[in-house]
Structure formats: structure tokens, C-alpha cells
Chains A and B, each alone.
Chain A
Amino acid sequence: MWEYTDKVKDLYTHPKNVGTIDNADAVGEVGSIVCGDALTLYLKIEDNVIKDAKFQTFGCGSAIASSSALTEMIIGRTVEEAEKITNRDIADYLGGLPEQKMHCSVMGREALEKALANWRGEEVAAHEDTEGEVICQCFGVTDPLIRKVIRENKLKTVEDVTNYTKAGGACGSCIHKIEDILTEELKNQPVAAGASVKAEKRPLSNIRRMQLVEETISDVVRPILQKDGGNIELVDIDGKRVMVALRGACANCLVSDVTLKNLVQEKLREFVEDDIEVIEVR
């Protein structure tokens, strides 16, 4: 039996705001009957204030409790206030959730996001990541989603996968599965162009080196910096000296020297040539 708080028990036995709203101003649907968790959230919004909220949930006790908690938390709040609610807030409202059940609070947060997007008339992205075997139960991250993110971002380690998808970030019991997926994906990945050239240990032609530097900056380095709100611009290449300029959050970052040395240079050395030198130009 899970260790549910009294608040969770109270709310799954006596959930508040169950039902639908006719002519709702906003509807948010997440999950599916296939993955075992689904929540539909209905909102009545007047003058930017959430006047009423109702829900229907297909899921376990903590899913019902999280849904109920969410509606109680947002009724009477402005849209802006509601937007600030995180899944952590939902879990805190419940006096905490077992780690493996944290995804129930994430589902609440997602339903709210979708409902508010729906209210604004924004396009809501299709939920392609709910199909397939769930690897990380805490955050409900599926096998296909992990593979997609590994491929798109050329991830190499479990820590990378956790940072990008949250998978493995809570209880950690799926880390061995993430490792297996990584091993498989890395095996299937066509060896990176740079790596293959490097493996051949042929001296690079100037053109080839420039191509590889450009590829590495755009495919490897930039996505990492963008994650922290930064960016990078390739200014010039002179032999093995690569001139770059840091942009966005990186530009005024006091540790940009470290960023340069540790990240850009390391990646270029890994994918292009061992003796690449990186120089920052402002």
C-alpha cells in the first residue's frame, strides 16, 4: 500500500468539484485511457478570473486527489496566478505524494496549462509522448520520448537524459532501463561524422575542419547553451583557432571563461580535432 497522507485519502474518497461544465470557457485534456491516467479539466473564466473549475479523472487515488486539489487551488484565482502553480505546489497542497506518484501532480499541471492555452485559442501540441512503454514512472516518461530526445539532442549519458526529460530524476529505479535505451540508441546512431574522421586519424583539410566545427557548434554546443538561455556565434576559423562569441545569458555570464574552456573547446576537441583552441571575441 502506498503511504498516502490523510489529505490525499480525504480527497480521493471525497473529491471536490467532480464533473463537467456546460459551455466551459476552457477545457484541458491530458493522458489517455491506454496509459492508465487521464484528466479532463473544465474552467469557467470571467474577467480573467477562474470562477469555476471541474474535473473528471481516470486514474489512481493520488490522481483523483491531485485533480481535486488543483481545482480547489485555482478557483477564485486570476489566470496569471493560476499559471504560476507548479506540480510541486499541488503536491505540497496534498501534504506530499509518494515519489512514484509525483507524475499525478504533473498531470494536473499539464491539464491546467492545456486548458489555459485552449482559453487563449493557442494551438495545443498533440500529446505524442504518452504512447509506448512508460520507463520513468515518477514523471510518466515513455520509451519513445526518451529515444526521440536522445536522437534529437545527441545525448550520451543518463544524466543528460534526466536533464532533458526528467526521466530517472526522482526515485532513480529506471536508471538501468535508461542505460539500456542509451546503449541501444548509441549503437544504432550513425557514428558522428567528426568522430569517424577523427578515428581515421587523417590530417583534416581546412574545408573539412570548418565543416566539422560548424556542425559541432550547431548540433552539439548550441543546444546545451540554449538550455540555459544562452547562445553562441561562430565568428571565424583560423587554422585550429576557433573564434566564437557568446550570446544571450552567456554573454554577461561571469563564468563564461569556464563555459568556453569546459564546454565549447571540449566538444570541439571531441568531435573535430584534439588540439582545437577556442578564443572568445566580444
Chain B
Amino acid sequence: MNRTVYLDNNATTMVDPEVLDAMLPFLKERYGNPSSMHDFGGDVAKDVELARMRVAELLGAENDYEIVFTGCGTESDNFAILGTLAYFRDRRHIITSKVEHPAVLNLYRKLEREGYRASYVPVDRDGNLDMEFLRKSIDDDTAIVSIMHANNETGVIFPVEEIGALCRERGVPFHIDGVQAAGKIPVDVKKIQCDLYSISGHKFHAPKGMGALYIRRGTRIRPLMYGGHQERGRRPGTENVPGIVSMGKAAELALRHLPDEERVRALRDRLESAILSRFSNVQLNGSKEARVPNTTNVGFEYIEGEAILLYLNEKGIAASSGSACSSGSLEPSHVLRAMGVPFTAAHGSIRFSLSRFTTEEEIDYTVSVLPEIIERLLEISPFWDSAAKRCRPVSP
């Protein structure tokens, strides 16, 4: 059994062959430094600027120079938040949600230890943001609001336009962690009215090691690093040219393939409804309405997520879990906990995330092997009575 059915595209994606073709010359003969005076380097700068334009188009930015290339999504998030705080030194209050990626959440925890006051906007059972809480949290001391566009675990999309209007009205800088949205849904930073927008290349078929930050023209932000003039001094250091070119190509392809996401949505829905109708011990985690088209998160009761993943892995299927056991940190998913998902289902949660390369046959294969996996684990579970096909009374 050597096949791989890759359904973990929110973790990372395969490099599109077209992207690889586009970047290869810059790993071979076109190795010039874009800052050089000679044409050998100077011509490379043109490809860097073309890539910048493609990324600007993907995000709906008005000007190319509003895009700064970084090393990853985490760097973009950190740059946006720390760079803003470095400018507004007298403001000591920061806002984010309870379900952010660790790239934002752990930074906020650090800032709290340094004396910042932080507000964490809660979510409801479907993973939707408590907008009233957010509205009330903003005060004159607020230095930044950082909210993700789409959640990595559930795929739930947040009302960023509403938040954008609110922040604009209150004069508070607004950063969006758009890592899970860019390339999956249309993004229009002008319409959203955000000041900063972070993305990561490897989530939309570029290689790992590339990020970008959109910085709206006129936004007050200080760089994290000091050095040369690259990226207009905002992110100094010799450019990762192959990475930048790959990200530009990936952005171009993502924009072109955006209509394909409807096909991805149909496949996702097919997988999801097959799972929800086939098993009695399963529930959907996250709102069915406002979701990116590629993600589904289901919670199996009475069985544990890592065990499901390992059994899926035996069948060549790659997915991920919010269970306590499967993450490196061993902490159960903070997202599912914030949503109030019962422990019984949180421990057995599985995320399937598709891409435009996912095929119908792969989904059908997954649907066909799941029953034996789930039934085998239920048979092992002390909380399930296989003969009666129902849960056992759980002892206290």
C-alpha cells in the first residue's frame, strides 16, 4: 500500500508543478542578486517585482509596494503586531480572538506578560465570533485588533468586513491573519478595510519558507529587523528570490483557479455528508454556513483522534486531529475548547482539508475505508457497547 490520499491541506499543500517550473531557473542559472547594478542581477529584480504584483492582485491590494515578502506566515503575523505596537507605544491594550493560530495567540500571551492588557474575543458553539464582545472591547487604549480571516481547524470564516469598518470608525489598526483564507476564498483588502494582512505561500501550493504581509499605504509600522534597503527597509536581508518567484506564481494560479473551489466544496460536502449520515457517534464542528470550501472538522465520540489518524495512515490517508494526543504539545485543541465542544467529541475530532488537486476517487476511497476504522476503534473502546451499538453508561 503505497498510495497517499492527502487530505491535510490546511497543514501544507503540494507544490504546483507550474510553480516549481517557475522557480527552478532562480535556483540554477539566474542566481543574480536583485540589488546588483549589472543586468545579471538587475533582471532578477524584475521577476521579484512581477511576483509582488501577483500577490497584490491575489489580495486586491491597490499598490504593489503594499506587499512585503517575509519568511513565513508566523513572521508576517509577528511583524504586523509587534511593528504596530512599536509605533503606538502609549497604547497598552490589544485584542484578538480565542481561536487564533499560535503565531498570534502565543505572541499575545508574551505581550501580556510584558504588561499589555489583552482581550480575547470568544466564539459560540458554531465557532462564530462574538461581535458584541469585540465592539465593547475596543477603547482609546487599544493598539491593535488582530483577527484571523478563516480558522485553520474548522474553516469558519469571520466577518472581517464588519470588523474592518468597526476598526476604521474607532481609529484602531486592524491586522488579519489570512493564512487559511488566501487562495481558498476571494480576498479584497480594500473592501475589508484592513491595515495589515498576513499570508503564507505553502498553504496555496508554493514551497515552504515564504510569507507576505500586506501593509496598506500609510499604515504606521516599524520593522522587526534592521539592515539593507530590501523591501524598502521594512524587511531587510537579501531576497529569497526562488521563494518570492514561487509565491508570485502560486498567487497567480490561486487567483486563476478560484472558481475551481466550487468543485472542492462539492467534494468536501460529499465527504462530510457521507460521514455524518454513516455514523451515529459523530458531529460537525463549526458552522456549516460561513466556511472555507476545503475544510471539514468532525468529532467522533467515544474514540480518540490520534488512533483514528494512525488507522487512516495505515490506509494511506493523511488527515489531522484536534485531539490532545496527536499534537506535539499534547494539549487538546484550544479552538474546539473555546467553542465548547464536549470533551467526548473533542478528543475524537478529525480535520479533513482538501485542495484543488483532490480527486473524487480519493474522496470515495476515504468514505469506503472509514467505517471499518471507526467500527474497529469502537470495538476497542470501553465507552461503546458494540453488541448493542450504543454508548455504555460512562462511569464517573
Measuring CB to CB, which residues of chain A are less than 8 angstroms from any residue of chain B? 1, 9, 12-13, 15, 18, 29, 32-40, 56-61, 63-64, 100, 134, 137, 173
> Whole-angstrom distance between the alpha carbons of A32 and B323 in the complex?
14
Interface string of B339-363 (1 = CB under 8 A from A): 0000110010000000000000000
B325 to chain A, nearest CB (A): 4
20 A-B pairs with C-beta separation under 8 A:
A12-B307, A13-B314, A15-B380, A18-B379, A29-B382, A32-B394, A33-B302, A34-B343, A35-B343, A36-B323, A36-B325, A37-B304, A56-B382, A57-B381, A58-B304, A58-B380, A59-B304, A59-B325, A60-B323, A134-B330
Q: Are B395 and A29 in contact (CB under 8 A)?
A: yes
Contact of B304 among A1, A29, A60, A100 (CB under 8 A): A60
With beta carbons under 8 angstroms apart, the residue of B304, B394, B395 that contacts A63 is: B304
**Distance from B312 Cβ to chain A, minimum over Cβ atoms (Å):** 12
Most buried by B among A38, A60, A63: A60
Task: Judge whether B236 is part of the interface by a CB distance below 8 angstroms.
Answer: no
> Contacts A12-B307, A60-B306, A61-B306: A36 and B381 contacting too (C-beta < 8 A)?
no
In terms of DSSP, what is the predominant structure of the interface of chain B?
loop
The chain B residue sitting closest to A8, CB to CB, is B310
Contacts of A63 in B (CB 8 A): 304, 307, 325
User: Among A32, A34, A57, A61, which residue has its beta carbon within 8 angstroms of that of B310?
Assistant: A61
Interface string of B294-318 (1 = CB under 8 A from A): 0000000011111100110110000
Q: Which residues of A have CB within 8 Å of B307? A: 12, 59-61, 63-64
Chain B residues near A57: list those with CB within 8 A.
380-382
Q: Which residues of B contact A173 (CB under 8 A)?
A: 329
Residues B382 and A18 in contact, CB atoms below 8 Å apart: no
A137-B381 contact in complex given A34-B343, A59-B307, A60-B325, C-beta closer than 8 Å: no
B323:A58 contact, CB within 8 angstroms: no
User: Among B324, B382, B395, which residue has the most Cβ atoms of chain A within 10 A?
Assistant: B382
Interface set of B (CB-CB < 8 Å, partner A): 302-307, 310-311, 313-314, 323-326, 329-332, 343-344, 347, 379-383, 394-395
Measured between C-beta atoms, what is the minimum distance from A58 to chain B in Å? Answer: 5
Q: In the complex, are the beta carbons of B347 and A56 less than 8 A apart?
A: no
Known: A18-B379, A56-B381. 14 other contacts (CB 8 A): A9-B310, A13-B310, A13-B311, A29-B382, A36-B347, A38-B383, A56-B382, A57-B382, A58-B302, A58-B347, A58-B382, A58-B383, A60-B323, A137-B331
Bound Cα distance from A34 to B311, whole angstroms: 22
**Contact in complex: A100, B330 (CB < 8 Å):** yes
Q: Are A18 and B380 in contact (CB under 8 A)?
A: yes
Whole-angstrom distance between the Cβ of B98 and the nearest chain A Cβ: 16
How far in angstroms is the closest Cβ of chain A from B263?
Answer: 30
Note all chain A residues with C-beta closer than 8 A to B383.
Answer: 33, 38, 58
Bound Cα distance A1, B321 (Å)? 11
Q: What A residues does B305 contact at CB under 8 A? A: 60
A58's partner among B303, B329, B332 (CB-CB below 8 A) is B303
Inter-chain contacts of A1 with B (CB < 8 A): 313
Q: Which residues of B contact A13 (CB under 8 A)?
A: 310-311, 314
Q: Are B306 and A38 in contact (CB under 8 A)?
A: no
B302 nearest in chain A by CB position: A58
Asked whether B325 lies within 8 Å of A56 as measured between CB atoms, the reply is no
User: Bound complex: CA of A32 vs CA of B344, how far in Å?
Assistant: 10
Chain B neighbourhood of A15, CB < 8 A: 380
Cα A56 to Cα B395 in complex, Å, equals: 14
Q: Which 8 A-B pairs have the closest CB atoms?
A: A60-B325, A60-B306, A56-B382, A137-B330, A40-B382, A61-B310, A36-B347, A36-B324
A-chain residues with CB within 8 Å of residue B313 when the two chains form the complex = 1
Query: Taking the nearest CB of chain B, how far is it from the CB of A160, in angstroms?
Result: 24
Q: How many Å lie between the Cα of A134 and that of B343 in the bound state?
A: 13
Q: A12-B307, A56-B381, A57-B380 are in contact. Are A33 and B330 (CB under 8 A)?
A: no
Task: Tell me the bound Cα distance from A63 to B325 in angstroms.
Answer: 10
**B381 — nearest CB in chain A belongs to which residue?**
A58
Known: A60-B323, A61-B310, A100-B330. A36 touches B380 (CB 8 A): no
